[in-house]
Structure 1
Amino acid sequence: MAHQQLSAPQTRRWWVLRRAAWPVYLLLLGRWTWVNGLPYTDDLVFLWLIGALLAAAVHSGQGWRRALLVLRDWVPVMAAVLTYSLLRGYGAHTPWAPHLSPQLDLDRALGGGETLTVRLQHLLHTPGVVHVYDYAAVTVYMSHFFVVFVLLAVLWRRDHARFRRLLACYLGLTYAGFLTYVLYPAVPPWMAGQQGATAEVTRIVAEVLDQSGLPRAASVFEGGSRFANDVAAMPSLHAAYPMMIALFFWPVASRRVRVLLAAYPAAMAFTLVYGGEHFVLDILVGWGYAAAVVYGVTRLLARRAARRAARQELMAGQRDGAAAAVAEGAPAAGRRTG
């Protein structure tokens, strides 16, 4: 039976639904954020991101088929990231003590006897006073929870092959970090200050957020602080993700975009050191992990594409050979029967 066209009332209802998709989504997001706080944990970001993709599917008129594609591609990604979030907490309970000496020694060498975090905070931080650059540091720090996922969503809509490639880089980098957290737990600068290994260190981001009074929504699935890992410092994934983004987009980026791509890892590195979250060595190792993962994923996918092209060429050659054999055999058969 042929596909039936929508009746006039159905058409009007569908038109209203399409036009209302984004306003309803934004209203719900704004209301939820006002009541519960800023959604910055992985699970909440994913839930609202999936909601945005569903709203976009309805608004574009692509309907349920596109919505099912959203769930097909993004629910497994959400499951993989949440699994990491849960495992990361268990990584805090290793039988070996967290490491401090290598990263502390490098920081003191670079800082002329004192860590760079302590020097920067003595120079720039004023207890009880929030400067403009403190707000900028918080903005850069919090971007860690959004930027990669937003870029993945944009690529999912525009270039699915590049979406899969960036996703492979993101998951590879994330789980490489988790494995290192288990094998090499490391003390961050703020904890080193608490232990007396350095002068006292202030966690700038936490202090600014507390003074701002901005509520922050708790994780839906992770269950709170028991899943935190205070010694998951080496490598710094906060530093690794911006470098991953820069290396991933650099080959196809314009000159202006390259300026932003270069500035983002640098701004994040400064924020992490000034904010007391990571030593310089944590950042350098994070950058190294990002370079290795992007290079490895690129090479792996290039080899797979080359093997696929070789198979297709071989199959095309075999089809051409079979067609030529049939063409050559047809006249001979005609002569035998004549």
Structure 2
Amino acid sequence: MSRNFPSAEVRPSLSALRLLAWPAYAGVLVWYVQTNGLPYANDVVFCFLIGALVAMAVHSGQRGGAVRVLRDWVPVMGAVYTYSLLRGYGAHTPWPVKYRPQLSFDTVVGFGQTWTVRLQHWLWTPGSPHWYDYAATTVYMSHFFVVFVLLAVFWKRQDRRFHRLLALYLAVTYLGFATYVLYPADPPWLTALDGHMPPVARIVQEVFEYTGVPRAGSVFENGSRFDNDVAAMPSLHAAYPMLLACFFWRGAGPRLRALLVAYPLAMAFTLVYGGEHFVIDILMGWLYAFLAHRLLTRYLDRRAARRGQLVQAA
């Protein structure tokens, strides 16, 4: 009885596909950045993240790996996309946009002047960014990548923390959206633009304009229905670093804990100095992250314990 072996033509083609997976991905990424600019919108970041995981699966020769990537990650992308859409609709609430409570709080903690105005007066030179302006821009842009990269690492390692971090991320994100609907709030740059405080520069935006480095727009999230300039309270830019600090704190060594403290503080400085958020927005973002982590972790721990007891009983 004869056996059917794979033809000699099939093996080289599969091998070539595996070898070309990463170069093809890198080529598309380089082309996109050169053509459109740095990707930072949620949908674009997710597309390239999913693409990287697919390339990894193809390169490893994992059977069904690409399908597994799409199965696990497309729903996550859909959840984030849905938030982006809802966030845009949240800009059209029937009640007035708030700025006075945030401005009053920041004026008190700034001893008569907001810290945004003070820091920009001390540190910002219009038309001539300093090294710390570039550092602040880097910290600000990390918001669009760090959580997703960590999720991808956990997913690749089949680490149980993948689903837990994802649940925490989505909980904080949608709690933020609910607050944007109930309490639309102006950021400092918009409050200043309306004449309620001294002029404020959007430093991250000005650094990009000065360097000429383009930022890619969104593929799917274009249009006014996704725009919401009054989604400032709480600051999710501040919330996510604090969420990561809470998430990794237990069991972390001294060096990691130093990083977990430094990242939220660096982001807080960037947001206030850059004119993107008031101090109270950041404090509320930290509070949301802490409470979400505390309550959801307690619930997930209890559910895991109950499952363990059921398994033992079975």
Query: Which amino acid is 2:81 matched to?
Result: L
Output the CA distance in 2 between the equivalents of 1:4 and 1:66. 25
Q: 1:73 to 1:209 in 2, by over 3 A?
A: same
**What is the CA distance between 1:111 and its match in structure 2?**
1.2
Matches within 5 A, 1:183-262: 183-262=182-261
Kindly provide the CA deviation profile for residues 284-327 of structure 1, in whole angstroms up to 9, marking residues without a partner as x.
00001001111122111111111111212222xxxxxxxxxxxx
Output the CA distance in 2 between the equivalents of 1:177 and 1:105. 22
Query: Match of 2:181?
Result: 182
Query: Match of 2:46?
Result: 46
Q: Which moved more, 1:290-299 or 1:52-61?
A: 290-299
Normalized against structure 1, the TM-score is what? 0.89
**What is the CA distance between 1:5 and its match in structure 2?**
5.0
Matches within 5 A, 1:275-286: 275-286=274-285
Q: 1:226 to 1:313 in 2, by over 3 A?
A: closer
**What is the CA distance between 1:11 and its match in structure 2?**
2.1
Output the CA distance in 1 between the equivalents of 2:269 and 2:232. 15
Q: Which moved more, 1:302-311 or 1:233-242?
A: 302-311
Query: Match of 2:149?
Result: 150
Q: 1:58 to 1:101 in 2, by over 3 A?
A: same
Q: 1:215 to 1:233 in 2, by over 3 A?
A: same
Q: 1:162 to 1:121 in 2, by over 3 A?
A: same
Output the CA distance in 2 between the equivalents of 1:241 and 1:195. 29
Matches within 5 A, 1:60-71: 60-63=60-63, 65-71=64-70
Q: What is the CA RMSD across the aligned residues, in angstroms?
A: 1.5
Output the CA distance in 2 between the equivalents of 1:6 and 1:247. 52
Query: Match of 1:94?
Result: 93
% identical aligned pairs: 62
Query: Match of 1:171?
Result: 170
Output the CA distance in 2 between the equivalents of 1:201 and 1:223. 26
**What is the CA distance between 1:226 and its match in structure 2?**
4.0
**What is the CA distance between 1:225 and its match in structure 2?**
4.0
SS in 2 for 1:172: helix
Mapped pair 1:307 → 2:306: yes
Q: 1:261 to 1:159 in 2, by over 3 A?
A: farther
Larger Rg over CA atoms: 1
CA contact (8 A) 2:85 2:225 kept: no
Output the CA distance in 2 between the equivalents of 1:173 and 1:252. 23
Number of residues paired by the alignment? 313
Mapped pair 1:35 → 2:35: yes
Query: Match of 2:134?
Result: 135
CA contact (8 A) 1:218 1:224 kept: no
Query: Match of 1:118?
Result: 117
Normalized against structure 2, the TM-score is what? 0.96
Query: Match of 1:17?
Result: 17
SS in 2 for 1:136: helix
Structure 1 gap segments, 5+ residues each: 316-338
Kindly provide the CA deviation profile for residues 106-140 of structure 1, in whole angstroms up to 9, marking residues without a partner as x.
21112110000000000001111111111111111
Query: Match of 2:105?
Result: 106
Q: 1:8 to 1:115 in 2, by over 3 A?
A: same
Query: Match of 1:329?
Result: none
Output the CA distance in 2 between the equivalents of 1:297 and 1:29. 36
Output the CA distance in 2 between the equivalents of 1:4 and 1:231. 65
Structure 1 residue ranges, 4+ long, deviating more than 6 angstroms after superposition: none
SS in 2 for 1:8: coil
**What is the CA distance between 1:184 and its match in structure 2?**
0.6
**What is the CA distance between 1:274 and its match in structure 2?**
0.1
**What is the CA distance between 1:95 and its match in structure 2?**
0.9
